[in-house]
Chains A and B, each alone.
Chain A
Amino acid sequence: MNLSSCLVLSAALFGIGAFGLLTRRNLIAALISLELMVNAALINFVAFARFGDQLPGRLPGDPESGSLFALFAVAVTAAEMAIALAIVIALHRRSAAAGGRARNSLDVTALESLHG
Chain B
Amino acid sequence: MAADVLFWAVSAVLVALAAATVLARNLFRAALGLLGVLWLTAVLFIMLHAEMVALVQVMVYIGGIMIFVLYAVLLTSELGGKMPAPSFWKAAAAIVASGTAVAMVAALMRKSGAGGTDVAAGGNVAALKALGLRLLDPGPQGFLIPFELISVLLLAAMVGAIAVAREPRGGP
Contact = CB atoms under 8 A, between A and B. Distances in A.
A32 B153 contact: no
User: For chain A, what secondary structure do more than half of its interface residues adopt (helix, strand, loop), or is it mixed?
Assistant: helix
A35 B57 CA distance: 12
Contacts of A51: 115, 119, 124
Contacts, number: 258
A25 B146 CA distance: 35
Nearest to B68: A85
A36 B98 contact: no
User: For chain B, what secondary structure do more than half of its interface residues adopt (helix, strand, loop), or is it mixed?
Assistant: helix
A67 B52 CA distance: 7
Given A15-B101, A22-B93, A50-B49, 4 more contacts: A17-B18, A28-B72, A54-B114, A54-B115
Interface of A: 1-9, 11-20, 22-26, 28-29, 31-33, 35-36, 39, 42-43, 46-47, 49-56, 61, 63-68, 70-72, 74-83, 85-90, 92-94, 96-97, 102-103, 105-106
